[in-house]
């Protein structure tokens, strides 16, 4: 069984969203599965000493233009949300709670969160919106509500972020496959060629 593609992202990352729309098809083409890992870029950027792209002078304006252009290039619906970026702790916590019961539902939930935020402009930092998207993905929201407010899942997400940093993750999207790291939606074709050829 070939190793899965490990896929890290923040729900507030435009390039992470585009990658989430593309990765399943790439993986299927190469006979790989994908392990999804929502993380929080806040603590990761702090550790690396970087800032969100859109906050940088000049580069920020270019980035906003490039988000939309890359989405169109890949035929992915996109509109930069008015409130950007947003906190994605609640969505990440809900993801891992759902994933513990059913990985496929969690993945469906993740795609719904991304589309709600980047295609429909909804506020995915709002716990009510998160619960609605969880329900739409078929999760048992009555069982989710309690644990979502608990300490355990906060610690779990923190541990996932720590593990990501230990693996070298410093941005979104970030992939590792067969030990090889790839950062950015623009490295997906390079990663596919790497998998296809066994590296070079």
Torsion of CA 168, 170, 175, 177, to 10 degrees: -10
Q: Contacts with a second copy in 4-43 (CB under 8 A)?
A: none
**Neighbouring C-beta atoms of residue 184, cutoff 10 Å:** 16
Distance, in Å, from the CA atom of 167 to the CA atom of 159, rounded to the nearest integer, reads: 12
Q: Give min distance, CB of 49 to a second copy, in A.
A: 6
Distance, in Å, from the CA atom of 137 to the CA atom of 144, rounded to the nearest integer, reads: 13
Q: Give min distance, CB of 8 to a second copy, in A.
A: 13
- How many residues belong to the site for a second copy (CB under 8 A)? 29
Residue span binding a second copy (CB under 8 A) among the ranges 54-62, 88-96, 104-112, 144-152: 54-62
Per-residue binding string, a second copy, 70-89, x by CB under 8 A, is x-xx----------------
Q: Contacts with a second copy in 126-165 (CB under 8 A)?
A: 165
* Residue 92, both tokens: 């990440």
Long-range contacts of 167-170 (CB under 8 A, 24+ apart): 167/6, 167/8, 169/8, 169/39, 169/44, 170/44, 170/47, 170/48, 170/50
Q: Contacts with a second copy in 161-190 (CB under 8 A)?
A: 165, 168, 170-171, 181, 183-184, 186-187, 189-190
Nearer to a second copy, 101 or 199 (CB): 199
Nearer to a second copy, 56 or 159 (CB): 56
Interaction site with a second copy (CB under 8 A): 47-50, 56-59, 61-62, 65-66, 69-70, 72-73, 165, 168, 170-171, 181, 183-184, 186-187, 189-190, 193, 200
């Amino acid at each position: 069984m070939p190793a899965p593609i490990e896929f890290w992202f923040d729900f507030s990352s435009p390039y992470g969203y585009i990658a989430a729309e593309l990765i399943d098809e790439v993986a299927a083409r190469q006979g790989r599965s994908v392990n999804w890992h929502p993380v929080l870029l806040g603590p990761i950027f702090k550790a690396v000493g970087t800032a969100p792209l859109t906050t940088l002078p000049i580069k920020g304006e270019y980035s906003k233009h490039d988000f939309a252009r890359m989405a169109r290039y890949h035929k992915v619906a996109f509109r930069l949300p008015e409130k950007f970026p947003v906190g994605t702790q609640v969505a990440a916590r809900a993801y891992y709670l759902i994933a513990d019961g059913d990985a496929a539902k969690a993945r469906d939930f993740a795609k719904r969160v991304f589309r709600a935020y980047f295609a429909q402009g909804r506020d995915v930092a709002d716990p009510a919106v998160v619960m609605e998207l969880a329900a739409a993905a078929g999760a048992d929201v009555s069982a989710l509500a309690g644990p979502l407010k608990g300490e355990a899942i906060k610690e779990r997400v923190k541990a996932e972020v720590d593990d990501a940093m230990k693996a070298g993750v410093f941005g979104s999207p970030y992939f590792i496959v067969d030990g090889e790291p790839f950062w950015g939606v623009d490295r997906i074709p390079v990663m596919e060629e790497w998998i296809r050829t066994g590296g070079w």
